[in-house]
Amino acid sequence: MGSTTLALAKLLSDDDPDTIRLVKEQLTVIGEDNPSALQELANADDARVSFHARDVLTHIDGCRAEDDFNLLCLLSGEILDIEEAAWALAKVIDPSASLLDFRDQINDWGSEFLERVACVTDNAERVQLLSEFLGEELEIRGNSVQYYCEENSHLPYIIETRMGIPITLTLLYQMVAARAGMKIEGINLPGHFIARHGDVFFDPFHGGRILSRADIEQILIRQGMELRDFHLLPANSRQFLLRILANLLYVYDLAGDKEKRARIKSWMEVLAGATINK
């Protein structure tokens, strides 16, 4: 660790907030080029030094996560891996999160589901088995108590708590099913997001309940709309991600978080390819 870094570390014990702020700004510059030095400070015995160094590391990780997600949006074109986009968004929401364990959990669930569905050829039966596994056994369900919160768009939170909103639960079903060779598509209904496997529609928010056309008609009626065939077309990956971001935009609107709102809005504009009205 260089002498400059050591000198700055000593200043982290200062009680003056302005001094701490200036030191952390300098450590941010150092940490971007020499993360190992900053990591040493984060592991220091001095609790105050460690706390501030970890805060700087989280800030650096957050900036990198935002840059990575911005690049993903810019380069997505017509091809976008929605799962990788969701993991990238998870790092934006919580830069300190370690995603490896959560990725492993999805793989484990996928492997377990594959054993159950390997010999099944009927679409409705596949959906029923998937719903029994995720909705009943794992108790993955809609978070109706805290619907409008950031965490409902955060994959690690959804995997850990087994709760989410319609679109992120559809994504979770899609990810698990994909590892068993089962294709799940998202259906971007107004006011609700559901899933489809072949000709079978179902609702991950309500435990994977299979939906008839009449059920879907009722969803549209509640929005004051009439069901049209185009409503049942699968959402592409960009539309999928746009709706996840739209949910976050609404959450930040409610919270009055202008900085996060502006960040989400800019990404939505890139993905949509057009300016979104304020």
Residues 176 and 225 in one domain: yes
Single out the residue in 16, 51, 75 at which a domain terminates: 75
Other beta carbons less than 10 A from residue 260's beta carbon: 17
pLDDT in tens, 178-222: 999 999 999 999 989 999 999 999 999 999 999 999 999 999 999
Confirm whether 261 is domain-assigned: no
Q: Read off the CATH number of the domain in which 38 is found.
A: 1.25.10.10
Query: Do 67 and 187 reside in the same domain of the chain?
Result: no
Asked if residue 113 and residue 70 are part of one domain, the reply reads no
- Which residue numbers in the chain have pLDDT < 70? 1-6, 8-10, 13-14, 30-31, 34, 37, 77-78, 274-278
Q: Domain range for residue 50? A: 3-75
The residue count for the chain: 278
pLDDT tens per residue across span 140-167: 999 999 999 999 999 999 999 999 999 9
Same domain flag for 142 and 116: yes
> Do the domain assignments include residue 278?
no
Q: Quote the pTM value.
A: 0.84
Q: What is the 3-class SS of the chain, one letter each residue?
A: CCHHHHHHHHHCCCCCHHHHHHHHHHHHHHHHHCHHHHHHHHCCCCHHHHHHHHHHHHHHHHHHHHHHHHHHHHHCCCCCCHHHHHHHHHHHHCCCCCCHHHHHHHHHHHHHHHHHHCCCCCHHHHHHHHHHHHHHHCCCEECCCCCCCHHHHCHHHHHHHCEECHHHHHHHHHHHHHCCCCCCEEECCCCCCEEEECCEEEEHHHCCEEECHHHHHHHHHCCCCCCCHHHHCECCHHHHHHHHHHHHHHHHHHHCCHHHHHHHHHHHHHHHCCCCCC
